[in-house]
């Protein structure tokens, strides 16, 4: 296969994969179905494009909250009206950089769960995400469904992904999110021993659905109002995510929410292995 085709195939596979609370079929098997290809096919309106114009949001913002140091998932406790903005599946040029620009305008940081393969393909962008002060996480090397693999194969994927993102960003990778949120207790415990905090999801924006940016914003805000706080799942590989982000952040600010910045703190206590 030509290099261009190979890269396109990788990008397409990852773009189609997304991350859902419910398990999705293997990306390779879904490429032929129009319902899966559709998400990127929705045309953005002129109003959507206008909303995404970052320059409109210059100025003083009050959205930045505290920096929360976490050594384990148990430390990741949010107060009422606090959110974490997490972005999976990138980095990808033309999209991740837009997300970074919007976060910068609002003075907030996110947590980027990178696919190792994507970080390898776009190391400058991966490094920029880290240099901007965002929390860096891994999302396996090839967006594998770890629950469907044997334990050893799954941990190989985890290690390869962590190494690839570390190399690309030039930083330690201290957060992790399961593709398709497909986890199990043994894998979660083993990942914790690799100095990575497993990031769960409280609010799924479903930005990978074939829907408008307005619908994504409304769904996310409705879920958040019910819950009061939480880790929001988004994907920096989709055009609609950068398009809806300024509106989402404006709404969060208007309703008094704060965006928490995550930092990893290495635990001095040995990781409890008894639960394995």
R_g (Cα) of the chain, nearest Å: 18
Closest CA to 95 of 239, 207, 232: 239
| CB 134 to Zn ion: min, Å | 17
For residue 137, CA distances in Å to 11, 156, 163, 218 come to 19, 16, 11, 27
79 φ, ψ (degrees, to nearest 5): -85, 170
Instruction: Determine the size of the site formed for Zn ion (CB under 5 A).
Output: 4
Q: Which two tokens stand for residue 30?
A: 């879904």
* Cβ closest to Zn ion, residue 161 vs residue 179: 179
Shortest Å, Cβ 117 to Zn ion:
12
CA distance 115 to 235: 11
- Find the shortest distance in angstroms from Cβ 267 to Zn ion: 26
Residue 71 or residue 136: which is nearer to Zn ion going by CB? 136
Site string for Zn ion, 123-162 (x = CB under 5 A): ----------------------------------------
Stretch that binds Zn ion, among 19-27, 62-70, 122-130, 158-166 (CB under 5 A): 19-27
**CB neighbour burial string for 89-120, b if at least 16 within 10 angstroms, e if fewer:** bbbbeebbbbbbbbbebbebbbbbbbbbbbbb
Q: Which residues contact 86 (CB under 8 A, 6 or more apart)?
A: 110, 111, 112, 113, 137, 177, 199, 201, 231, 232, 233, 234
Binding residue (CB under 5 A) for Zn ion from 48, 82, 88, 204: 88
The DSSP output letter for 149 is: S
| Residue 7 bridge partners (DSSP) | none
Give least dist CB 23 to Zn ion, A.
Answer: 12
Among 48, 51, 82, 89, binds Zn ion (CB under 5 A): 89
Of 16, 19, 158, 224, which one interacts with Zn ion (CB under 5 A)?
A: 19
Q: Which stretch binds Zn ion (CB under 5 A): 174-182, 184-192, 194-202, 256-264?
A: 174-182
Cβ proximity to Zn ion, 89 vs 207, nearer residue: 89
Rounded Cα distance between 43 and 15, Å, is: 17
Q: Which is nearer to Zn ion, 71 or 191 (CB)?
A: 191
Is position 207 an interface residue for Zn ion (rule: CB under 5 A)? Answer: no
Backbone angles phi, psi at 170, to 5 degrees: 75, 15
Residue 19 or residue 135: which is nearer to Zn ion going by CB? 19
Q: Nearest distance from residue 103's CB to Zn ion, in Å?
A: 19
CB of 144 vs Zn ion, minimal distance in Å = 10
Chain residues that interact with Zn ion, rule: CB under 5 A: 19, 88-89, 179
């Amino acid at each position: 296969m030509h290099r261009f085709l190979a890269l396109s195939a990788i990008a397409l596979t990852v773009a189609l994969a997304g991350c859902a609370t419910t398990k999705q079929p293997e990306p390779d098997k879904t490429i032929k179905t129009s319902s899966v290809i559709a998400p990127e096919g929705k045309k953005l309106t002129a109003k959507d494009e206008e909303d995404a114009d970052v320059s409109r949001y210059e100025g003083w913002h009050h959205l930045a909250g505290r920096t929360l140091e976490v050594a384990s998932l148990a430390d990741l406790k949010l107060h009422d009206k606090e959110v974490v903005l997490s972005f999976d599946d990138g980095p990808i040029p033309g999209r991740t950089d837009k997300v970074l620009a919007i976060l910068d305008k609002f003075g907030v940081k996110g947590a980027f769960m990178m696919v190792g393969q994507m970080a390898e393909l776009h190391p400058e962008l991966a490094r920029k995400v880290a240099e901007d002060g965002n929390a860096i996480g891994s999302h396996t090397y090839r967006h594998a469904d770890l629950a469907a693999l044997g334990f050893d194969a799954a941990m190989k994927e985890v290690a390869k992904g962590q190494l690839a993102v570390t190399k690309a960003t030039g930083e330690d990778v201290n957060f992790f999110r399961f593709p398709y949120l497909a986890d199990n207790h043994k894998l979660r415990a083993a990942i914790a021993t690799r100095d990575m905090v497993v990031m769960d999801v409280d609010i799924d924006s479903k930005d990978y659905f074939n829907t408008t940016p307005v619908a994504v914003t409304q769904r996310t805000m409705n879920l958040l109002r019910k819950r009061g706080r939480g880790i929001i799942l988004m994907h920096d590989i989709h055009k609609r995510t950068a398009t809806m982000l300024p509106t989402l952040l404006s709404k969060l600010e208007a309703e008094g929410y704060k965006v928490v910045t995550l930092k990893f703190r290495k635990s001095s206590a040995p990781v409890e292995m008894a639960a394995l």
